Amino acid sequence: MKTKITSFSLLIFCLFVIPITFTNCQDNTKEQENKENKTTQKENKEQQAEIKKEEEKRPTDRRYNDLARLIAGLPAEQGSVYEKIHQDPSWQNYSNVAQAQWKNVLENKQPIMTKWRDEELKEVVDAGGVLFYPFSGPDFLHAATFFPKMQQIVMIGLEPIGTVPDMEKIAQRSTNAYFNGIQQSLATILNYSFFRTLSMEVDFTGRVVTDIDGTLPVILLFMARTGQKILYYEKVALSPEGNVVPANEIKTEQGKIDTTYYGTRIDFQSPDSEERKTLYYFGVNLSNNKYINLSGLNQRKDLRSFIENLSITTTYLKSASYLMYKSEFTLIRDLILKHTKYLLQDDSGMAFNNFTNGTWEITLFGRYAGPISLFANYWQQDMANGYTGGKYKVRPLPFGIGYQYAVGSSNLMLAKKIK
């Protein structure tokens, strides 16, 4: 006997059966998302455990912390190997100038940034993991301020890594020139929040002061001034497979040019923490192809592999010269978009349309005033609409940062990848 389906029966079916099916689908989706989140958390914990195990094998040497405090203009700790130089009138004069210079940063601007971070970046900060900061120069200051719980920080710029300064030899000649050079290199970052690229080409290549031949002294200075304790320094290199190895493991055949990418590795502890963390800085070319004398990502499988294997948690971009808007920087742009979970940037990092395809949750901060005149052709109408159209969350930004460094003219965007 055939069953007759009445309109009433169909109505009952729609009211009860379909919602049950839909609810089951929702439950399955949530269950799958929970499984993915647990898997990700497990992978993060395993990765962090491996990082910690590897770091604990490395030694500790307090002379690097003593050196950082000397360069930063901070008083010597008891037993410092540089105690004698701290008594030098030229260092004491430098220290007085540095104290006044940093007073404004540490007592006025940084507390505002820290409060904003605690309110707006809590999820990002608590995630920890690996911070990737390309086009950074030696700007450890903002990395430490915004991301205090990162186990690893990887900074990359064009500027060379530099060598550990021999302060005893420098003191035998005169420390005046050295400390004046350090002061000069900090002028724009402390006043405007960014390093000027053309200035870095001079300040960190030995042209102003022979002994300042790279970013290392300023990174050490920033670490000391932000309260970090330096545990160890080591010059490292990228193996052909993209692994970080001690620099002395690299052997170059006689008569061949050494094309190895070398880097800085600094182990440190943050204030009120016993955890051993690591900072890497590499002076490399992140464009697709050769620039000046450095091969690009198309030619450097070692650098590409290194970045791909970082397990990046968060990427930070600031005052990045709009480079990733250009066709010459598509490889590094795509690597970041593929691998990072969170991204914090001002508008000079990546174009807004990279994040509006539905795979990112966007929060905008401050005000989009557009690029400065030097980069006027990078105006983004879609970003301007994003700040006014009501589609995205727009939150206050109580400090100035980036090229539009005046308070009320700056912008930041937080993008969170949606699984």
Q: CA dist 255 to 11, 76, 247, 258, Å?
A: 85, 45, 19, 9
Inter-residue contact 238 to 306 (CB < 8 Å): yes
Task: Tell me if 59 is assigned to some domain.
Answer: no
Is residue 275 domain-resident? Answer: yes
Confidence at 56, pLDDT banded by 50, 70, 90? low
Dihedral in degrees, nearest 10, Cα atoms 343, 347, 351, 352: 70
Task: Check residue 231 and report its DSSP letter.
Answer: E
Q: How far apart are CA 397 and CA 342, in angstroms?
A: 18
Q: What pLDDT was estimated at residue 260?
A: 94
Task: Using a pLDDT cut of 90, give the percent of the chain over it.
Answer: 65
Beta bridge partners of 238: 244
Mean of the per-residue pLDDT values of the chain: 85
Give the list of residues 6+ apart from residue 58 with CB closer than 8 angstroms, or none: 232, 234, 267
Q: What is the rounded average pLDDT of the residues 125-153? A: 95
In a domain, 48, yes or no: no
**Sign of the alpha-carbon dihedral angle for 118, 119, 120, 123:** positive
- Residue 27 resides in a domain: no
- Whether residue 232 lies inside any domain: the answer is yes
* pTM score of the predicted model: 0.84
Q: Which residue range forms the structural domain that includes residue 180?
A: 68-249+258-417
Q: Taking residues 284-305, what's their average pLDDT?
A: 95
* Cα–Cα separations (whole angstroms), residue 145 to 138, 139, 149, 212, 416: 14, 11, 10, 25, 20
The CA distance from 223 to 153, in Å, is 12
Q: Tens digits of per-residue pLDDT, 339-352?
A: 999 999 999 999 99
pLDDT band at 43 (very low <50, low <70, confident <90, very high): low
Which is nearest to 279 in space by CA: 291, 289, 266?
Answer: 266
What confidence tier does 237 reach under pLDDT thresholds 50, 70, 90? Answer: very high
Q: How many domains does the chain have?
A: 1
What's the pLDDT at 101?
A: 83
pLDDT category, 267, cuts 50, 70, 90?
A: very high
pLDDT score for 380? 98
Query: How high is the pLDDT of residue 199?
Result: 47
User: Contact, 266 vs 278, CB < 8 A?
Assistant: yes
pLDDT at position 363 over 50:
yes
Question: What is the chain's length?
Answer: 419
- CB 418, CB 29: distance < 8 Å: no
Burial class (CB in 10 A: 0-12, 13-18, 19+), 327: exposed
> What mean pLDDT do residues 403-410 have?
92
Q: Which pLDDT belongs to residue 33? A: 52
Taking phi first (over 0 means left), then psi (-120 to 50 degrees means alpha), and beta for anything else, what does residue 321 get? Answer: left
Asked whether residue 286 is domain-assigned, the answer is yes
Largest distance between two CA atoms of the chain: 109
With bands split at pLDDT 50, 70 and 90, how would you rate the model's confidence at 292?
confident
pLDDT above 70 for 187? no
pLDDT for 193 beyond 70: no
pLDDT over 70, % of the chain = 80
Between 2 and 358, whose confidence is greater? 358
Is 311 exposed, middle or buried, given 0-12, 13-18 or 19+ CB atoms closer than 10 A?
middle
User: In the prediction, which pLDDT does 361 show?
Assistant: 98
